[in-house]
Amino acid sequence: MSKDSEYSAIHYNSYLELEKLLSAQTLRSVELGKPAHEEMLFIITHQVYELWFKQINHELYSVAEMFQNNNVDERNLNTCVGRLDRVIGIFRLLIEQIRVLESMTPLDFLDFRSYLFPASGFQSFQFRELEVLLGLKEEKRTTYHGHGYQSVFDQKKKELLQKLEANKSVLELVEEWLERTPFLELGEFNFLEYYQNAVETMLAKEKKAIMATDALDDHYKEMRVNMLGDTHTYFANIMDEKKHEELLEKGEVKMSYKATIAVLFINLYRDEPILQMPFRLLSRLTDIDDFLATWRFRHAQMVLRMLGNKVGTGGSSGHKYLAKTAENHHIFGDLHNASTLLIPRSELPELPDEMKKRLGFYFSSK
Amino acid sequence: MSKDSEYSAIHYNSYLELEKLLSAQTLRSVELGKPAHEEMLFIITHQVYELWFKQINHELYSVAEMFQNNNVDERNLNTCVGRLDRVIGIFRLLIEQIRVLESMTPLDFLDFRSYLFPASGFQSFQFRELEVLLGLKEEKRTTYHGHGYQSVFDQKKKELLQKLEANKSVLELVEEWLERTPFLELGEFNFLEYYQNAVETMLAKEKKAIMATDALDDHYKEMRVNMLGDTHTYFANIMDEKKHEELLEKGEVKMSYKATIAVLFINLYRDEPILQMPFRLLSRLTDIDDFLATWRFRHAQMVLRMLGNKVGTGGSSGHKYLAKTAENHHIFGDLHNASTLLIPRSELPELPDEMKKRLGFYFSSK
Amino acid sequence: MSKDSEYSAIHYNSYLELEKLLSAQTLRSVELGKPAHEEMLFIITHQVYELWFKQINHELYSVAEMFQNNNVDERNLNTCVGRLDRVIGIFRLLIEQIRVLESMTPLDFLDFRSYLFPASGFQSFQFRELEVLLGLKEEKRTTYHGHGYQSVFDQKKKELLQKLEANKSVLELVEEWLERTPFLELGEFNFLEYYQNAVETMLAKEKKAIMATDALDDHYKEMRVNMLGDTHTYFANIMDEKKHEELLEKGEVKMSYKATIAVLFINLYRDEPILQMPFRLLSRLTDIDDFLATWRFRHAQMVLRMLGNKVGTGGSSGHKYLAKTAENHHIFGDLHNASTLLIPRSELPELPDEMKKRLGFYFSSK
Amino acid sequence: MSKDSEYSAIHYNSYLELEKLLSAQTLRSVELGKPAHEEMLFIITHQVYELWFKQINHELYSVAEMFQNNNVDERNLNTCVGRLDRVIGIFRLLIEQIRVLESMTPLDFLDFRSYLFPASGFQSFQFRELEVLLGLKEEKRTTYHGHGYQSVFDQKKKELLQKLEANKSVLELVEEWLERTPFLELGEFNFLEYYQNAVETMLAKEKKAIMATDALDDHYKEMRVNMLGDTHTYFANIMDEKKHEELLEKGEVKMSYKATIAVLFINLYRDEPILQMPFRLLSRLTDIDDFLATWRFRHAQMVLRMLGNKVGTGGSSGHKYLAKTAENHHIFGDLHNASTLLIPRSELPELPDEMKKRLGFYFSSK
């Protein structure tokens, strides 16, 4: 490709490096003199995965960078949300793509499966990079046969992963950004107090109303009051920073108390102009968590379908391991938890005027 | 359903009115004593369409309402964008659903097709409502056998449609809102002048660079210079309000000059906080236009597959009519056109500080 | 609707009973004087689910009927596979549709959630019908708070479910049909012996080859030989009818020994003309199992997102219960298991000529 | 990769040639010192397209090969249908993927668009290969600026395309196979006569019934009788081989008379065992035609969105050209046309017993 000028003529073929790209499908079965038609699909599907992983990581690195310094530019939030939207769009493809791979039947796979030993998706560096970038910690991982996830990589790649683990992940960067949310107190306004009052009032009112309802029989009354009790416990926890510290230590939550309160605030007042984009950002991270889990779940299904209970090419009882990770390898679970703590808008206290102004645009405040 | 209290117990069955809903599938073929298995699919698919149309219209009415008065609350933009996102999600389903209907083969359809005469999708009131709400005008419609689209409805429904046509559509409401965009001039800053200068400088620079490029042969030089010329014409048009008025009269554009300039401004400075949501809003409307066109296109394909070139149950050569509407019944084409007028960010002049402040948050401006 | 003749004119509106259909959305929040915009989405989404459930059940009943008598007409297999394909297409929609419901945020849900108590998806009769039709047995179900799944229905519906449970499910009907597969023995040909020999030869050859491979270090050799051992155990099990009976008793498999062998035979010789459609039928049932599990998984995710760890409107810790059913409520697991028992085509003995002829078409056998 | 033995150990990384694959993304904007974040997406999206095109062509070549000799093995039909199913699954991805590319806004594209000149999707060799393999003829193509589609390729690739055009396409191979359908006459049974009688009887009966219907007013009676007339013309055409030859010459149909009759026969008697797979094969080809057209349509939409009415990087008014190809570049249109000629099953004459036997399995005929 001629590099001398931005006006040089360029061909689709050389721009996309198609010679290179389209010569990278070497079928083992062909090399071994026992050509298996379906091996092409196996290779291409996995190569497409790797290309998309590269793209996802390209986006995640850029998002991480925008949160890197301690002063996130609001102009960037728009871009961040757009890039996360794109990551979600890619995950849609990754999930749908499993269906294409499933068009290869288990019997077809047997035609070349034994030649691939011990290659395995466990050895995908970019996928581990993706997980670490988002914030999956080594100690949170389901181990496989007691080995850490890094054991399958060479020294150079191990070091890259360790370095990446040492850097701040998207989860940690977003946490720090949340901790800096400046609106939680202002003059008379103390968000936590406001919120606590609203919760108490709401629960008391609701209990009274339930007890007074003629249309409800005793069984249901009891049920609803019990539900209120449960709810009460959840709310009590969030008001108590110590409780939160305990949960943090046990690993049941990941975000600091301050960040958690900010998540609650953003969710409750998401329509105020300055919170609209932060709200979208948190929603996208929740989406990514869900799509990633769905991908793991579908991946586990595909492995079961392809191998039954046989061990995978990498020697793993792949299905069970993968099904477990779909359940356990959540990264942004704390954002899901916020749902538990929301209260109806009708119970929310009106924000003081000065507060409203601060959450709005310069233009409209004039 | 007991209505006396919000705490009354309620059952899934009665809440969803399932008795009613699930007794609304009367197969003509069964009534006539010649049961056709596939008629159930035909009915249910169309009923699901109608339910989703009801939901889409529910969202569109609410969006229109928020733009109704002349002072749109910025808090509502978040909600609007969310609701349009939902409409897009529903269109995804409507398009995917065609594939399910296509699982009925043409031969299966013949088992009951003749009993349906002259029922036809042309008679869907809610779909016409949807089109009118968005902003499709009667005079823009491809007519079918010379009849207006309202001719298939009874008097009451005709009047409803006429009334709806008399109200402002989403297109018109958004246009008015765009016309009120307040940032196009401020002190020294005049957006159109800024933009015009940037365009001229860019085109001149580009032409000079092309002529000076050794790596480009004459054929390509000429080609690129011609392309610049074309581009120049487009840009010239936008600078000339009279030209725009002519296009309006010819029906080649729909939005006023002022609104069009605002669309350009929002696209170019979309990352400024106060423009982030407006940009998203415009993007969603473009998406809806595209999804609607795709639905029409797929619908036309399905009709061709099901009937070949036979006339439809409503007596129309359905395929050709539908294919034409996919091409012509665009509503937000002016938003697509904005792409033609964008220039690279690197060529955009920096906004004056005072302008930047006005486009930002009250909080950050302090 | 005029019923006197199949040539009577009919309108889209009355054919689809749209008056009825579109008047079945009564918002509780509106009735209670506190209108919540999002309740419409909640109702319509669930109504669409119910319409699709009706369609799925319409297909499943028809499939069951074709397998009802002991002599399945081969002409019907084509139709069966087509109808199961359609069910899969509908499941695609049901899964995609969850994304639309998720466009309602947890905070939006709180605006009307408390009015719905104790309505819950657990009370969907048609969904239980679907599960029972396919073959989910009461004793296999994860119970919820110790209550059987029928406890939420009225007497009439309970009886309908019990009657349905007493009938043969699709799983049982397919099992019986499989047991009648007539090709497992013919003259010299005994499928099980053929298969057993092939397995033994393959395993011995493979072990020898592994031990002789210079390119493999000892760690890998051991690993591969262990994998062979595991595989050997699986194969041994299938050769031993007693072992199978034990697994049946423990509930680890569901299909009889005879049916299981037939599944294996159909998978291995799927390209023989008479087995092409049976193979497709089994594949579709596996697909349905997978799609149903994915739907459960996504449903569980949505509940978590909407409610966090709060109890559902029906008083259940919905998320956990649903996640468990995604794991446990498999119906056609035995079809997945067949993958474990397949051997590469290159190791399969050639079928005797007479056998091949019997598996072919009358036309080609001449 | 060690090639000495099929038991050699192999790593995911080297198997998938990831070094090569993941080093093939060279951003022009980076090389030119003006890095544009979004160029990565542009490159990767197109590379994924090319990988999938390779896979599709892999399948199409294999399908063509199975039809190559004059005696298609019925065992292969199963495999063919499976591979075409996979091609459809890949097209789903290709269409969905456009949405991901659309996440790059027009403004983002401008950051690097000018560096790509005159690279263009017109220069994708594999896509042209795909079209030619399926059966798109040069003379049927919409030309672009008067140039043939081959003009953008180098000499070697031109020759490859010419050679491919000289070979039989899937369309032609399937046509030849259809022409060999052996069941159209047998003893007393002559399919065309049977069919013609059925058509005449049906039309006469229907006309009489319409005239006698009290429930139908004159306007509708006339309408229905006119529809019958139209239908009559279509049916008359198919009975007349000369008419067909004329249509062939005008290019309005592509398949020979014999093949067209076979398509009709297969559609009408699709449930007979020996026709079940041929029916599926024809359906899949129709699907591929539809999916390909949808991809073209969506591609045209994306180009409009990205460039407005500007000329593309390859110097084309891309949107209009692409929209035209969505309409005109149909390959299997004759399979769609068959729908026009179908008659309800209730009007079909029963097949003679001997005929039924011949369309069945050897096993069942005993």
The whole-angstrom separation of Cα A302 and Cα C299 is 20
pLDDT of D315 over the 60 cut: no
- Eight-class DSSP state of C153: S
- Residues of D whose CB is below 8 A from C277: 273, 276
Residue from C2, C3, C12 to probe the interface with B (highest B Cβ count within 10 Å): C12
Identify the pLDDT of residue A3. 47
Distance separating alpha carbons of residues B305 and B296, to the nearest angstrom:
14
Nearest to B294 among D231, D297, D305 (CB): D297
The pLDDT tens digits of the residues spanning B89-105 come to 999 999 999 999 999 99
pLDDT of residue B262: 95
Give the Cα separation of D267 and D259 in Å (integer).
12
Q: Ramachandran region of residue A238, left (φ > 0), alpha (ψ -120 to 50) or beta?
A: alpha
Which residue, among A309, D71, A267, B276, has the nearest Cα to C234 in the 3D structure?
A309
A294 and C294: CB-CB below 8 Å?
yes
Residue B3 has pLDDT above 60, yes or no: no
Helical axes C125-134 vs C155-166, angle rounded to 10°: 10
Note the pLDDT of residue C1.
41
Q: If you ran DSSP here, which 8-state letter would residue C184 be given?
A: S
Q: How many whole angstroms separate alpha carbon C283 and alpha carbon C336?
A: 9
Out of B34, B227, B305, closest to residue D311 by CB? B227
**Mean model confidence pLDDT for chain B:** 89
State the pLDDT confidence band at B177, using cuts at 50, 70 and 90: very high
Selected residue with higher pLDDT from B118 and A50: A50
pLDDT in tens, B327-341: 888 899 999 888 888
Note whether C216 contacts D9, CB cutoff 8 Å: yes
Q: How far away is chain A from the Cα of D29, in angstroms, using its nearest Cα?
A: 8
In chain C, the residue whose alpha carbon lies closest to the alpha carbon of B58 is C40
Among left, alpha and beta (phi > 0; psi -120 to 50; other), residue C25 is beta
pLDDT band for C2, please (50, 70, 90 cuts): very low
- pLDDT mean across residues, chain D: 89
Q: Quick one: closest CA in D to A108, which residue?
A: D79
> DSSP 3-state assignment of A20?
helix
CA distance A185 to chain B (A): 14
Which one of A289, A339, A343 would you mutate to disrupt binding with C, by most C Cβ within 10 Å of its Cβ? A339
Are the Cβ atoms of C215 and D79 closer than 8 angstroms? no
Residue A36: pLDDT band (50, 70, 90) is very high
Say yes or no for a CB contact (<8 Å) between C3 and B82: no
- Span A312-336, average pLDDT: 78
Per-residue model confidence as pLDDT tens digits over A227-276: 778 778 878 878 889 999 999 999 889 999 999 999 999 999 999 999 99
Q: Spell out a b/e string for A29-63, using b for 16 or more CB atoms within 10 Å of the CB, else e.
A: beebeeebbbbbbbbbbbbbbbbbbbbbbbbbeeb
CB of D118 within 8 Å of a chain A CB? The answer is yes
Percent of chain A with pLDDT over 90: 56
B partners (3+ CB pairs within 8 A) are A, C, D
Is residue A63 predicted with pLDDT exceeding 60?
yes
In this structure, which long-range contacts are made by residues B211-216, counting pairs with CB atoms below 8 Å and at least 24 apart in sequence? B213/A5, B213/A7, B213/A8, B214/A4, B214/A5, B215/A2, B215/A4, B215/A5, B215/A7, B215/A8, B215/A9, B216/A5, B216/A7, B216/A8, B216/A9
Picking from D54, D62, D82, the nearest residue to A44 by CB comes out as D54
- Nearest by CB to residue C267, choosing from A107, A283, A294, is A107
Q: Is B346 on the interface with D (CB under 8 A)?
A: yes
8 Å CB contact between B235 and B202: no
Q: D285-300, pLDDT tens digit by residue?
A: 999 999 999 999 999 9
CA A116, CA C220: separation in Å to the nearest integer?
13
Query: Is the pLDDT higher at D359 or at B6?
Result: D359
Residue of chain D with shortest Cα separation from A33: D6
Which among A196, A7, A58, A30 is positioned nearest to A115, based on CA atoms?
A: A30
Res B1: pLDDT: 41
Among A32, A65, A103, pick the best mutation site for testing chain D contact (most D Cβ within 10 A): A103
Quick one: pLDDT at residue B217? 77
Give the Cα separation of C164 and C148 in Å (integer): 16
Q: D140 to chain A, minimum CA–CA distance in Å?
A: 25
Q: Rounded mean pLDDT of A61-69?
A: 93
Is the per-residue pLDDT at D128 higher than 90? yes
Nearest to A278 by CA among B276, C109, D104: B276
Burial class (CB in 10 A: 0-12, 13-18, 19+), C70: exposed
Residues in chain A closer than 8 A to D40 (CB atoms): 54-55, 58
CB contact under 8 A, A123 and D51: no
Question: What's the confidence (pLDDT) of residue B122?
Answer: 85
CB D272 within 8 A of CB D71: no
Could you read off the pLDDT of C237-283 as tens digits, one per residue? Answer: 788 899 999 999 998 899 999 999 999 999 999 999 999 999 999 99
- Show which of residues 285-314 on chain A sit within 8 Å of chain D, judged by CB atoms: none
* Residue A175 scores a pLDDT above 90: yes
Phi, psi of D352 (to 5 degrees): -60, 150
DSSP labels, A84-145: HHHHHHHHHHHHHHHHHHTTS-HHHHHTTGGGGTT--GGG-HHHHHHHHHHT--GGGSPPBT
With a cut of 60, say whether residue C48 has pLDDT above it: yes
- Do D74 and C273 lie within an 8 Å CB cutoff? yes
What residues have CB less than 8 Å from A227, skipping those under 6 apart? C311, C315
Residue C366 has pLDDT above 80, yes or no: no
Residue of A7, A78, A274 with shortest CB distance to B216: A7
Please answer yes or no on whether D28 and A12 come within 8 Å at the CB atom. no
Q: What is the average pLDDT across B289-296?
A: 96
CA distance C245 to chain D (A): 31
pLDDT at position D2, please?
43
Report the amino acid identity of residue D98.
I
**Residue of higher predicted confidence among B187 and A96:** A96
Any chains having at least 3 CB pairs less than 8 A from chain C are: A, B, D
Average pLDDT over residues B252-271: 94
**Yes or no, beta carbons of B268 and D311 under 8 Å apart:** no
- Residue-by-residue DSSP string for D1-70: ---S-TTS---HHHHTTHHHHHT----HHHHTT---TTHHHHHHHHHHHHHHHHHHHHHHHHHHHHHHSS
* β-pair partners for C186: C189
Range name among A215-219, B129-133, B180-184 with the lowest pLDDT average: A215-219
Number of other CB atoms surrounding residue C80 within 10 Å: 22
Q: Check CB contact under 8 Å for C270 and D78.
A: yes
- Report the pLDDT value the prediction gives residue D242, as an integer from 0 to 100: 93
C-alpha A318/C-alpha A299 separation (Å) is: 9
Side chain identity at residue D50, one-letter code: E
DSSP state of C71: S
Backbone angles phi, psi at A145, to 5 degrees: 55, 35
- The reported pLDDT for the residue numbered A2 is 43
pLDDT tens digits, one per residue of D134-174 = 999 887 787 766 677 888 899 999 999 999 999 999 999 99
Residue B43 pLDDT exceeds 50: yes
> Which SS3 state, helix, strand or coil, does residue C330 take?
coil
Per the model's pLDDT, the better-predicted residue between D231 and C205 turns out to be C205
Distance CA A94, CA A98 (A): 7
Q: What is the pLDDT of residues D166-220, one digit of tens each?
A: 999 999 999 999 999 887 888 888 899 989 999 988 888 888 888 887 767 788 7
**Element containing residue C189 per DSSP (H, E):** strand C189-190
Any idea which residue has 């024809």 for tokens? D282
The lowest-confidence range among B272-286, D146-160, D223-237, D252-266 is: D223-237
A338 touches chain C (CB under 8 A): yes
Per-residue pLDDT tens over the stretch A90-143: 999 999 999 999 999 999 999 999 888 888 888 999 999 999 999 998 877 877
Q: Band of the pLDDT at B310, cuts 50, 70, 90?
A: low
Mutate to test the interface with C, among B1, B100, B110 (most CBs of C within 10 A): B100
The winner for highest mean pLDDT among A251-255, B129-133, D225-229 is B129-133
Q: What dihedral angle (degrees, nearest 10) is formed by the CA atoms of D152, D153, D154, D160? A: -150
Average pLDDT score over residue span D43-49 = 98
Whether C16 sits inside 8 A of B121 (CB atoms) is no
Confidence of residue B2 (pLDDT cuts 50, 70, 90): very low
Asked if B214 is an interface residue toward chain A (Cβ–Cβ < 8 A), one would say yes
Confidence of residue C3 (pLDDT cuts 50, 70, 90): very low
Chain D positions in Cβ-Cβ contact with residue C358 (cut-off 8 Å): 362-363
pLDDT for residue C55: 98
Q: What is the mean pLDDT of residues A38-48?
A: 98
Do A100 and D93 contact (CB within 8 A), yes or no? yes
Per-residue pLDDT at C69 exceeds 60: yes
D361 touches chain C (CB under 8 A): yes
Which member of C107, C301, C339 has the closest CB to residue A307? C339
Average pLDDT for C103-129: 91
Name every chain B residue with its beta carbon within 8 A of the beta carbon of C28. Answer: 1, 6, 10, 15
Please check the confidence at residue D4 and state whether its pLDDT lies above 70: no
Q: In this predicted model, which residue has the larger pLDDT, A320 or D277?
A: D277
The set of residues, in sequence order, having a beta carbon less than 8 Å from that of C33 and lying 6+ positions away, is none
More confident residue, D69 or A169: A169
**What tokens does C241 get?**
């009818």
Nearest chain D Cα distance for residue A62, angstroms: 9
The better pLDDT of the pair A65, A339 is held by: A65
Please enumerate in sequence order all residues whose Cβ is within 8 A of that of A176, keeping only pairs 6 or more positions apart, or say none.
A67, A70, A168, A259
* Strand A189-190 to A185-186 pairing: antiparallel
Distance from CA of C9 to the nearest CA of D (A): 6
DSSP symbols for B249-270: HHTS--S-HHHHHHHHHHHHTT
Task: CATH number for D41-181+259-332: choose from 3.90.1200.10, 1.20.58.480, 3.30.1360.20, 1.20.1440.230.
Answer: 1.20.58.480
Percent of chain B with pLDDT over 90: 56
C12-189+239-365 to CATH, choices 3.40.190.10, 1.20.58.480, 2.30.110.10, 3.40.720.10: 1.20.58.480
pLDDT of residue A43: 98
Rounded CA separation C241/C247 (Å)? 10
Residues linked to residue C143 through DSSP beta bridges, in sequence order: none
Beta strands C185-186; A185-186: pairing state: unpaired
Asked if D209's CB is within 8 angstroms of C7's CB, the reply is yes
Give the nearest chain D residue to C181 (CA atoms). Answer: D363
Name the A residues in 76-105 with CB < 8 Å from any B CB.
76-79
Looking at the predicted structure, is the pLDDT value of residue D120 above 70?
Answer: yes
Q: Do A343 and C110 touch (CB under 8 A)?
A: yes
Average pLDDT score over residue span C115-124: 86
- In this prediction, residues C327-356 reach a mean pLDDT of 88
First and final C-alpha spacing in chain B: 55
- The residue among D163, D133, D136 whose CA lies nearest residue D68 is D133
The percentage of residues in chain C with a pLDDT greater than 70, rounded to a whole number, is 95
Q: Choose among C9, C214, C363: nearest Cβ to D358.
A: C363
Cβ–Cβ of A110/C307 closer than 8 Å? Answer: no
The reply to whether omega before A349 is within 30° of 0 (cis) is: no
Query: What is the token pair recorded at A189?
Result: 């306004």
Which phi and psi (to 5°) does residue A361 adopt? -85, 150
Residue ranges of D 153-212 with Cβ closer than 8 A to chain C: 182-183, 209-210
Instruction: Name which of C8, C11, C78 to mutate to probe chain D: the one with the most chain D Cβ atoms within 10 A of its Cβ.
Output: C78
Check CB contact under 8 Å for B50 and C24.
no
pLDDT digit string (tens) for B198-237? 998 888 888 888 888 776 778 878 877 887 787 788 788 7
* Tokens found for residue B303: 């009709």
Among A140-149, C29-38, C344-353, the range scoring the smallest mean pLDDT is A140-149
pLDDT for res C236: 82
Report the mean per-residue pLDDT for chain A. 89
Where helices occur in chain C by DSSP H, the ranges are 12-15, 18-21, 28-31, 39-68, 74-101, 106-110, 125-134, 155-166, 170-179, 191-212, 218-239, 241-250, 257-268, 273-307, 318-328, 333-341, 353-358, 362-365
User: Residue A78 — very low, low, confident or very high, per pLDDT cuts 50/70/90?
Assistant: very high
Please state whether beta strands A189-190 and B185-186 pair in parallel, antiparallel, or not at all (unpaired).
unpaired
Mean pLDDT for the stretch of residues D102-116? 93
Predicted pLDDT of residue D258: 94
- Find, in chain A, the residue whose alpha carbon is nearest to that of B362: A362
Alpha-carbon distance of C190 to C195, in angstroms, equals 9
